[in-house]
Amino acid sequence: MSDVLRLPQFSIGTGDRFAHQAKAQLQACVNAAKAGVEVVPVWNKSNREHTIIGSEPSQTRAAADAAVKALGWDKPYFLDADHINLKTMGRFVAPCDFFTIDVADDIGKPAAAADVDAFVARHPELVGTVNIPGIAEPFRTDEAFVRGVANKFLGAVQEAGKIYRAILEAKGEGKFVPEISMDETDLPQTPVELLIILAAIADEKVPIQTIAPKFTGRFNKGVEYVGDVAQFSREFEEDLAAIAFAVKNYGLPENLKLSVHSGSDKFSIYAAIHNAVTKTGAGVHLKTAGTTWLEEVIGLAEAGGSGLAIAKEVYAEAFSHADELMAPYATVIDIKKEKLPSVEEVNGWTSEQFVGALRHVQSNPLYNANFRQLIHVGFKVAAKMGPRYLEALEANEEIVAKNVTENLWERHIRPVFLGA
């Protein structure tokens, strides 16, 4: 089994909406390697983003390969078919080697009663007092509880199995890293639910290397975590223990780890994540939320002149189409429209004011999370500008790249993976 494609312990998911920043992103991983920690890049771009921008997964592959070549990166790297399902997977099959199998929409769709019965009968170890090494208080369940969790999740896991087998058919055994994601749903999964879900995934014979549950608290796109950090920390550690238990008892891949979706900018939980993985030796996949696009706008604004003018134009357009741009992301953003600056005001801003409002430095009094989130969902505006936007990126490559690298390295990789 040595030829199975294997995701290393630490990885970071980065999005590159306009396929211009792969090198700057990879530079952050190079910095980590120089500091002695291997963090491998996973380039992700969802079907939704490809559709909004009008791009193809093969372009993401070409950009990633070119960056790897340019920087002489000799460690693994991956291309993520991000949040795919049976309907959308087609164009991702050839260029991708990491598949985020999204079954959030299938949660709650009941499985056949006989399948639920069979699951409960097959897993007496999940009923009663479930002692898991690493968790002080054992989980206490009864058959009705396990049946309830199976009713809620078994159908979704069976759907994941179908998608996995379709990818397997197309790509072959061991040729890709499978992840199952359940994060884009309403309620978080508790650690004991995660354990039951993992048992079902093992039964379905999907050799997942990462799983993305929905964690407690809010993970809005591109902004700080909103929730109880102590509770997150406890649940994250229990999730790690549940995973270790499932690997040992159900034969899931030994490198199985948690994937933290929309994990960028959640500065308040990074110490908890770092401490938990350091203590246990577990791995983690930190998936950022397309925030490289924001660093592009920051770089353009910082450049001043025509760069700043384009940044202001992006805001003006985003502001006037706010409802339309926000709609597809309604559940993962939290914009207070009354806190958005007017277009007139922004048009009068200096580079410093624009950058200060957008860059995620909470100690800066100019920072405005509402402004940041609106621009985050506003990438369609830049896509509509077409070559004019791309030419601005190229003309200001250095200052944009500096922002892209610094954001990933200083604000994400260092605190999460190096604990510094």
Cβ neighbors of 342 (< 8 A, separation 6 or more) are: 319
Q: How far is the CB of 182 from Zn ion (least distance, A)?
A: 9
Q: How far is the CB of 34 from Zn ion (least distance, A)?
A: 30
Q: How far is the CB of 102 from Zn ion (least distance, A)?
A: 7
Q: How far is the CB of 159 from Zn ion (least distance, A)?
A: 16
**Total site size for Zn ion, rule CB under 5 A:** 2
Binding mask 51-80 for Zn ion (x = CB under 5 A): ------------------------------
Dihedrals phi, psi of 385, to nearest 5 degrees: -70, -20
The reply to whether 183 sits near Zn ion by the rule CB under 5 A is yes
Closer of 183 and 203 to Zn ion (Cβ)? 183
The reply to whether 235 sits near Zn ion by the rule CB under 5 A is no
Residue nearest to Zn ion (CB): 261
Amino acid at 61: R
Spatial contact of 404 and 292, defined as CB atoms under 8 Å apart: yes
Site residues (CB under 5 A) for Zn ion, limited to 93-122: none
Look up residue 265 and give its two tokens: 């900018």
Rounded Cα gap, residues 70 and 60, in angstroms: 15
Q: Which residue do the tokens 């924001």 mark?
A: 294
Spatial contact of 42 and 13, defined as CB atoms under 8 Å apart: yes
Q: ∠ CA 286-85-161 to the nearest 5 degrees? A: 90
Q: How far is the CB of 247 from Zn ion (least distance, A)?
A: 22
At 99, which helix (H) or strand (E)?
Answer: strand 98-102
From the list 188-196, 261-269, 291-299, 372-380, the region that binds Zn ion by CB under 5 A is 261-269
Closer of 183 and 317 to Zn ion (Cβ)? 183
Q: How far is the CB of 417 from Zn ion (least distance, A)?
A: 20
Closer of 261 and 274 to Zn ion (Cβ)? 261
Closer of 185 and 405 to Zn ion (Cβ)? 185
Closer of 224 and 397 to Zn ion (Cβ)? 224
Q: How far is the CB of 260 from Zn ion (least distance, A)?
A: 9
Identify the DSSP state of 330.
G
> Residues 261, 266, 360, 372: which binds Zn ion (CB under 5 A)?
261
Closer of 185 and 370 to Zn ion (Cβ)? 185
Identify the DSSP state of 417.
I
Identify the DSSP state of 205.
T
DSSP-derived secondary structure for 209-250? SEEEPPPSSB--TTS--BS-HHHHHHHHHHHHHHHHHHHHHH
Spatial contact of 110 and 147, defined as CB atoms under 8 Å apart: no
From the list 47-55, 69-77, 130-138, 253-261, the region that binds Zn ion by CB under 5 A is 253-261
Could you give the C-alpha distances from 317 to 68, 292, 339, in angstroms and in order? 35, 20, 17
Rounded Cα gap, residues 210 and 277, in angstroms: 14
Binding mask 128-167 for Zn ion (x = CB under 5 A): ----------------------------------------
Closer of 20 and 261 to Zn ion (Cβ)? 261
Closer of 183 and 235 to Zn ion (Cβ)? 183
| Chain residues in the site for Zn ion (CB under 5 A) | 183, 261
